[in-house]
Amino acid sequence: YQSIIEDWGSTSLAFERATEPLYRATIEATRYYVEQSRDRYMVSLPELGAATDDLSLMRGMQPLVLDMMEQPEPVRAAIARLTETWTDVHEELYQMAAPTSDDGCCIAWMQSWAPGRHFQMSCDFSAVLSPRLFDEFIVPEIRAYLEVNEYSVYHWDGPDAVKFLDSLLAIEELDAIQWTQGAGSPPASDARWIALYRRIQEAGKRLILPFVEVGEVEGLLSEISSRGLLIGTAASNEEVARDLLARVARWTRD
Per-residue pLDDT, 68: 98
Q: Residue 86 in contact with residue 114, Cβ under 8 Å?
A: no
Q: What is the pLDDT of residues 117-174, one digit of tens each?
A: 999 999 999 999 999 999 999 999 999 999 999 999 999 999 999 999 999 999 999 9
Q: How far is it, in rounded angstroms, from Cα 16 to Cα 137?
A: 26
Q: Residue 142 in contact with residue 169, Cβ under 8 Å?
A: no
Q: What is the pLDDT of residues 160-215, one digit of tens each?
A: 999 999 999 999 999 999 999 988 999 999 999 999 999 999 999 999 999 999 99
Judge residue 236's burial from the number of C-beta atoms within 10 Å of its C-beta, 0-12 exposed, 13-18 middle, 19 or more buried: exposed
Q: Would you give the distance in Å from CA 75 to the centre of its chain? A: 22
- Smallest CA-to-CA distance from 68 within 58, 57, 79 is with 79
Q: Residue 65 in contact with residue 125, Cβ under 8 Å?
A: no
- Smallest CA-to-CA distance from 121 within 141, 101, 100 is with 141
